[in-house]
C-alpha cells in the first residue's frame, strides 16, 4: 500500500515536471522552424514584414563574413499565406564588390514596400552607406519587383555636436576604463561630433521603423563610430529624410521604438558601453526629434533588442537578456507600456557558448499572433534564420 502511494506521488511529480517543461511551450509556440537548412555561410540580421495579401517576407544578409567579406549580399524568402514551408532563398540586393548588411523591410502608410540596408565602404562600419529600394509589385512569387533605388543621405548640422556636448552632462560620471594620459571617452565623442564628414556618414539600419498615425516614418539608426543612435525622420512617406538629434549615451545602439498612449516615444537599445551591460532607455516627447540622455534599465543585454506595441495595448520586448553572450533569446510582455515586464518566455535558453541567437525581428498579424525571426547559430559551421509564430495571450509564466 505504501509502495503504491509512493508510486502515485512520483508519477504525479513527474507529470507536473513534464507539463512545466513541455506543455506550456507547445501551447504558446504554434510554429517553430528554420527558414533554410543549417549551412556554413554567415547568415545574420533578419527583418520580417507581413504583406497585404498575408504573405510573410523575410530578409537577411549572407556571405563568407560581415564587413570584411565583399561577397555579402541581401537575401530573402517568402512564406505564402496559407502554406507551411518557406520558399527557396532569392537575392534582394547586392552592391558589387561591397558587403551588404543589416536589411530592414517595412511598408509605409501607402503600402509601398521598402528595403533599407547598408553597403559597407572600405570594409569599415563607420564608412557605411545607407541605401533603400521600393516596390509596389511584391505579391507574386519570389523577390519583389523593385521600381526605385537611392541612398538615404543625412546631414546633421552643428546642433548634433551641441546636443552631444549637452547630453553627456546628464550622464553619470565615467570613472573606469581610461588611463590618466588618455582623453576621456566623452571628450573623444564630442570632438568627433564636430567633424561634418564623420557625423554625416556611417549611419546604419538594424530594426524596423515606427510609423505614426499621420504617416510619418521614424527609422532607427546607429553609428559604430559614435557608439550611439539617431532617428531618420520622413514626413512624406519615405521620399525624403531628415536626421533627429542624436540619442546620446555611452553605447546606446540599435534602437527599437514604441509609442505610449500619451504620445511619448520610447527607445530601447542594445548596450555597447560600459559595465554593467543592460538594455538602455531614452524618451522623445516631440515625435522623435530630440531624445533624453540614454540610461540603463534593469534588463541584462549584450547583443540585441526588439520592441512592439500589440493590438491589445500590451508591449512585447524580444532580445538577449544575458550580459555575457547570445545563448538566450527571451520574449517579455508588459501591461503598463514598459514600466514593468510581468511575463516572459524563453525561445532559446542554452548553456553559455552553446549557440548564438540574436538580431530578432518581431511583428503581429491581424489574428493576434506574433511572428518573429532571428539568427540561429549553433556554431561557425551551422547557421540559419529561425522563424517562430506564437500566441502572446498564452504566455502565463516565465519558463
Check pLDDT > 80 for residue 20.
no
pLDDT at residue 6, as a whole number: 38
pLDDT at residue 383, as a whole number: 98
Check pLDDT > 70 for residue 26.
no
Q: What is the pLDDT of residues 136-152, one digit of tens each?
A: 999 999 999 999 999 99
- Band (327; pLDDT cuts 50, 70, 90): very high
- Average pLDDT of the chain to the nearest whole number: 91
As a whole number, mean pLDDT of residues 148-162 equals 98
Residues 6+ apart with CB under 8 A from 323: 276, 277, 278, 300, 301, 302
Q: What is the pLDDT of residues 288-307, one digit of tens each?
A: 999 999 999 999 998 999 99
Q: What is the pLDDT of residues 256-288, one digit of tens each?
A: 999 999 999 999 999 999 899 999 999 999 999
Spatial distance between the Cα atoms of 168 and 102, rounded to a whole number of angstroms = 28
| Cβ count within 10 A of residue 88 | 9
Amino acid at each position: 500500500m505504501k509502495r503504491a502511494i509512493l508510486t502515485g506521488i512520483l508519477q504525479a511529480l513527474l507529470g507536473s515536471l513534464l507539463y512545466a517543461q513541455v506543455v506550456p511551450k507547445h501551447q504558446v509556440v504554434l510554429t517553430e522552424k528554420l527558414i533554410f537548412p543549417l549551412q556554413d555561410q554567415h547568415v545574420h540580421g533578419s527583418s520580417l514584414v507581413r504583406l497585404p495579401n498575408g504573405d510573410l517576407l523575410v530578409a537577411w544578409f549572407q556571405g563568407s563574413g560581415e564587413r570584411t567579406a565583399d561577397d555579402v549580399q541581401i537575401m530573402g524568402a517568402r512564406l505564402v499565406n496559407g502554406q507551411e514551408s518557406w520558399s527557396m532563398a532569392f537575392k534582394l540586393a547586392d552592391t558589387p564588390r561591397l558587403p551588404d548588411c543589416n536589411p530592414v523591410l517595412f511598408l509605409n502608410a501607402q503600402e509601398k514596400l521598402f528595403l533599407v540596408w547598408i553597403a559597407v565602404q572600405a570594409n569599415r562600419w563607420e564608412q557605411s552607406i545607407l541605401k533603400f529600394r521600393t516596390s509596389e509589385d511584391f505579391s507574386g512569387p519570389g523577390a519583389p519587383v523593385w521600381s526605385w533605388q537611392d541612398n538615404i543621405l543625412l546631414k546633421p548640422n552643428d546642433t548634433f555636436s551641441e546636443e552631444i556636448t549637452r547630453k553627456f552632462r546628464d550622464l553619470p560620471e565615467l570613472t573606469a576604463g581610461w588611463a590618466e594620459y588618455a582623453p576621456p571617452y566623452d571628450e573623444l565623442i564630442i570632438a568627433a561630433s564636430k567633424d561634418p564628414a564623420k557625423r554625416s556618414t556611417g549611419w546604419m539600419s538594424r530594426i524596423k521603423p515606427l510609423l505614426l498615425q499621420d504617416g510619418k516614418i521614424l527609422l532607427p539608426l546607429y553609428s559604430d563610430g559614435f557608439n550611439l543612435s539617431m532617428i531618420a525622420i520622413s514626413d512624406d512617406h519615405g521620399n525624403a529624410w531628415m536626421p533627429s538629434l542624436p540619442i546620446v549615451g555611452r553605447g546606446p545602439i540599435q534602437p527599437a521604438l514604441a509609442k505610449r498612449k500619451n504620445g511619448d516615444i520610447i527607445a530601447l537599445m542594445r548596450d555597447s558601453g560600459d559595465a554593467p551591460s543592460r538594455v538602455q532607455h531614452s524618451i522623445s516627447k516631440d515625435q522623435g526629434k530630440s531624445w533624453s540622455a540614454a540610461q540603463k534599465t534593469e534588463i541584462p543585454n549584450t547583443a540585441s533588442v526588439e520592441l512592439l506595441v500589440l493590438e491589445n495595448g500590451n508591449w512585447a520586448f524580444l532580445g538577449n537578456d544575458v550580459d555575457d553572450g547570445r545563448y538566450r533569446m527571451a520574449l517579455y510582455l508588459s501591461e503598463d507600456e514598459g514600466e514593468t515586464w510581468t511575463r516572459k518566455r524563453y525561445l532559446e535558453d542554452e548553456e553559455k557558448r552553446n549557440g548564438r541567437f540574436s538580431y530578432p525581428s518581431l511583428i503581429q498579424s491581424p489574428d493576434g499572433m506574433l511572428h518573429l525571426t532571428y539568427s540561429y547559430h549553433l556554431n561557425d559551421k551551422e547557421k540559419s534564420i529561425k522563424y517562430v509564430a506564437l500566441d502572446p495571450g498564452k504566455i502565463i509564466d516565465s519558463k
